């Protein structure tokens, strides 16, 4: 895609941008729907500010595409989505559940807590009894992740406490090793989940996030929770090509330097010029989410050339070797692409860094202006 028309509209004082393609968000959501078993529906995980992509515009577009079930991590995230999507047909599920003195705010914004333990169950049941009303709820059972979720009944509690006093919308769990199709843990958790469902009377069920969805229809149940697939991340080789990249990151040139052999670059002088060379400094750094430990990894793209990162990443700047770039491109204010879809995506960069792509996007700072394309109807 030619981004120049988009970049030409950016205010001159803005040094870094993330261009987010909402049409590809829609495409990816529907691609998930295409692989689902008959009767299964796709929700959307929009926690963490939609993985750093921006929860408000992402949720608006997904709503337009027919999504009516959204997952967030916290109540404040849920409030933001509810203010964006006031339609009462929209269900917003708070994965962290209910805590003491949060019951009223959950009800005010029509947020549904996902209960993770008996303490939360007691709080929500107590509120339901006070109101003499069965309140909506979802339940998370732990099938092997050992993070969140109910383990089993104890001498003080019974599942009937939930079933008799609350309106159970679904039971969910979360797979620990779904990124590895050969992991035996997937099958173990699947069987444990089926056992748990029987205890609840076989309610509506929701097991899989993105990786689990692509394990096959046995893992899809009634509803799935795609997150990274919506944002264009494949993770597993068998998913490559299924979804489209959504984000590209650009930063402006703020300095051009012509170095002599032996000159050094950056804090600690960790890079020494092996020859006479040209370097450029771009206006993005660890304050913008590009961690210092990423130094020496990744690259930029300018004038059809790939520019290696050299020296340490600092708070506001990254330095690139621009020796192979035609001088006509080396002007202050010109844009350098840090990702270049489809050839060098956030995901491919993450693989080089030894991390996951959504760690990069979640870290993007406020100085990186988000620009949305494909959002004419929002």
228 vs 148: CA distance, rounded Å: 20
369 vs 352: CA distance, rounded Å: 25
In DSSP notation, 253-266 reads EEEEEEEPTT-EES
Residue recorded with tokens 């990786």: 211
To the query of whether residue 133 is one of the catalytic residues in this protein, the response is no
* C-beta separation of 215 from 186 below 8 A: yes
**Cα–Cα–Cα angle for 96, 97, 100, nearest 5°?**
115
Q: Which of 29, 47, 60, 109 is labelled catalytic?
A: 47
93 vs 5: CA distance, rounded Å: 38
Of residues 4, 77, 3, the one with CA closest to residue 44:
77
Q: Which of 64, 133, 187, 267 is labelled catalytic?
A: 267
To the query of whether residue 51 is one of the catalytic residues in this protein, the response is no
Helix (H, G, I), strand (E, B) or coil at 372: strand
341 vs 183: CA distance, rounded Å: 31
For residue 91, the surrounding DSSP H or E stretch is strand 91-94
What would the two tokens of residue 366 be?
A: 């406020």
Helix (H, G, I), strand (E, B) or coil at 271: strand
131 vs 145: CA distance, rounded Å: 34
Sequence-distant (≥ 6) Cβ neighbours of residue 27 within 8 angstroms: 243, 244
Annotated catalytic residues are: 47, 267
């Amino acid at each position: 895609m030619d981004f120049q028309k988009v970049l030409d509209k950016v205010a001159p004082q803005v040094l870094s941008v993330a261009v987010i393609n909402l049409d590809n968000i829609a495409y990816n959501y529907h691609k998930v729907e295409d692989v689902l078993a008959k009767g299964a529906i796709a929700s959307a995980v929009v926690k963490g500010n939609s993985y750093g992509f921006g929860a408000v515009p992402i949720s608006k577009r997904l709503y337009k595409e027919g999504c009516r079930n959204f997952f967030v991590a916290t109540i404040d995230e849920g409030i933001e989505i509810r203010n964006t999507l006031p339609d009462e047909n929209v269900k917003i599920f708070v994965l962290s559940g209910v805590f003491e003195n949060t019951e009223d705010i959950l009800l005010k914004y029509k947020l549904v807590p996902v209960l993770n333990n008996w303490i939360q169950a007691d709080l929500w049941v107590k509120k339901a009894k006070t109101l003499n009303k069965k309140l909506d709820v979802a339940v998370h059972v732990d099938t092997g992740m050992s993070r969140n979720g109910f383990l089993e009944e104890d001498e003080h509690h019974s599942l009937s406490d939930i079933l008799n006093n609350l309106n159970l919308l679904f039971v969910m769990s979360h797979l620990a090793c779904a990124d590895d199709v050969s992991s035996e843990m997937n099958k173990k958790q699947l069987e444990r989940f089926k056992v748990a469902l029987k205890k609840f009377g076989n309610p509506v069920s929701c097991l899989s996030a993105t990786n689990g969805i692509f394990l096959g229809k046995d893992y899809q149940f009634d509803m799935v929770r795609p997150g990274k697939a919506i944002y264009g991340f494949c993770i597993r080789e068998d998913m490559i090509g299924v979804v489209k990249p959504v984000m590209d990151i650009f930063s402006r040139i703020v300095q051009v330097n012509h170095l002599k052999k032996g000159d050094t670059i950056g804090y600690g002088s960790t890079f020494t010029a092996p020859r006479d060379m040209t370097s450029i400094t771009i206006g993005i750094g660890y304050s913008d989410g590009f961690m210092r430990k990423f130094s020496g990894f990744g690259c930029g793209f300018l004038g059809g050339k790939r520019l290696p990162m050299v020296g340490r990443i600092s708070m506001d700047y990254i330095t690139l070797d621009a020796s192979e770039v035609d001088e006509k491109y080396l002007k202050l204010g010109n844009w350098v692409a840090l990702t270049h879809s489809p050839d060098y995506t956030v995901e491919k960069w993450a693989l080089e860094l030894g991390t996951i792509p959504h760690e990069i996007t979640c870290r993007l700072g406020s100085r990186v202006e988000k620009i949305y394309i494909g959002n004419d109807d929002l």
